[in-house]
Amino acid sequence: MNVSDSFGNFQRTYAIGPSVTVVVPVHGRLELAQRCIASIPQWAEVVVVDDGSPQDARSRLQPTCPRARFIVHEEAKGFAGAANAGLEAAGGEVRVVLNSDARLMPGALEALTAAFADPSIGIAGPRLVFPDGSHQTSASRFPTPLRLLTGSFALNEAYRAIRPRSRFPFELGMARAEHRSDRDVDWVIGACIALRDTCLVELGGYDDEYPFYVEETDLCWRARQRGWRVRYVASATVVHEGGASSAPPALLAEHLLQGEARFMVRAYGERSLPRWWASRVLGSAIKASAFGALAPFDSRMRNHAQWQRSALAHLIGTAKENFGRRSAQGLAERGVINLTDCMGRRLGAQAERVASQGTQAKGG
C-alpha cells in the first residue's frame, strides 16, 4: 500500500488506499506500549500521546518508532482526552486509535483500512484475541437495561448452541460464531477502533466526560445516529492484553457504571435510569454469587467476583447518596443514579444481603 506521500492530504485516493494515522494513548506500562508501537507498519503515520505517564515515555518509546510524533500531557486527561488530542493532530484519512496494551497482527491494518472503500462506513473495528490466541468479544449491541441483565456471554452461547441459526433476543456481546465474518454491528470494542476523517469531524471526537469506559459505545451510537455504518472486520486481528490496568477493581467498576449511566441518559433519557440501576444491581448480585462459587478454582473467576462485588457496593452507595434527585443535568454531569421507585429499594436491600454474605464467605 503506497501511501507514504499522502499524509495530511485529505483528498480521497482510494486507488492506492487512504492515508492512515495510528494514535496510541500512553499512561505508564511502557513495556506494553513498546510492543504496541513496534507492531505498526512502516507506511502508517504514528502519533503517541503521553497522557501524564509517571515515566518519561518519549525517551523510552522514541527509539522503537523514530518517525512517531509525540504529544505530551503534563497531567493526565484520561483516555478520551488523550485520544482526541492524537486524532486532532493526525493527518490520515483513516485514523486508528490503538490501546497501548494491544498490538496489530500482520495485515491487520491493511484489512481494517480496506473496509473504508465503502463510503457509508464511518467506523470499523478488528477481531480481538487474547495473547494466547483465545477468543475475545470484539463487538456488541448497544446496552439497554434488559440486555445488561440477560445478555451474558454464557446465556448467549447456550442459546446459540440450542438454536444455531437464531439470534438470542437479548444479546449484548456478539456471539462467538458471528466473529468469523465481516458484518455491521452497533459498536466495536475500543481497544482498536478506526474512524473515517469526515465521520470524525461530524462527531467531534470522543466525549471526554466519560471517565474511562463506554466512550467508544457513545462514539458509535452518535455515528449511527448520523447515518454512518459501523463495521466489524474479521480478517483484521489485533492481540489485546485486556485487564492491563493497575487500578483497583472498585475504581474500574465505578468508572464503568458512571459511563453507563451517562450513556443511558444520552441514548434513552433520564427515565431509563431506574431500570438500568435495578438491572445492574440484580445482575451483579447474581454474578457475584456465581463467580464467587468458582473463585477458589480459577483466578479469572476470582477477579470477576471481586469486580461484581465492587459494582454492587457502588450502586448501593450512590443510590443512598442520591435518593430523590431528579435533575437530568446533574445525572449527566456527575454520572450518578437517581433511584425513583420502590422496586429499586427492595432490590437494593436484597443486594446488600447478598454482598454481605459474599464478603463473609470470602473472609472465612
Residue 284 contacts residue 311 (beta carbons within 8 Å): yes
Asked if residue 358 has pLDDT above 60, the reply is no
Please state the domain extents for the chain: 20-138+174-240, 145-169, 249-363
User: Which residue did the predictor score with more confidence, 323 or 300?
Assistant: 300
Alpha-helical (H) ranges within the chain are 30-38, 57-61, 78-89, 108-114, 145-150, 153-162, 197-203, 215-225, 249-268, 273-294, 299-322, 328-334, 342-363
Comparing 8-12, 283-287, 358-362, the range with the smallest average pLDDT is 8-12
User: Which residue did the predictor score with more confidence, 231 or 300?
Assistant: 231
pLDDT of residue 11: 33
Residue in the block written with cell 502519533: 47
pLDDT above 90 as % of the chain: 55
Kindly state the average pLDDT of the residues 291-316.
Answer: 87
pLDDT tens readout for residues 159-175: 777 887 777 778 889 98
pLDDT above 70 as % of the chain: 81
Kindly state the average pLDDT of the residues 291-309.
Answer: 85
pLDDT band at 221 (very low <50, low <70, confident <90, very high): very high
pLDDT of residue 331: 40
Asked if residue 145 has pLDDT above 90, the reply is yes
pLDDT tens readout for residues 27-77: 888 899 999 999 999 999 999 999 988 878 888 898 988 999 999 998 889
pTM above 0.75? yes
Name the region of 335 (left: φ>0; alpha: ψ -120 to 50; beta: rest). left
Asked if residue 348 has pLDDT above 80, the reply is no
Using CA atoms, how far residue 316 sits from 258, 312, 328, in Å, is 13, 6, 19
In one-letter notation, the amino acid at residue 145 is: P
Kindly state the average pLDDT of the residues 301-329.
Answer: 73
pLDDT band at 266 (very low <50, low <70, confident <90, very high): very high
Residues in the chain: 364
> Which CATH number is 20-138+174-240 given?
3.90.550.10
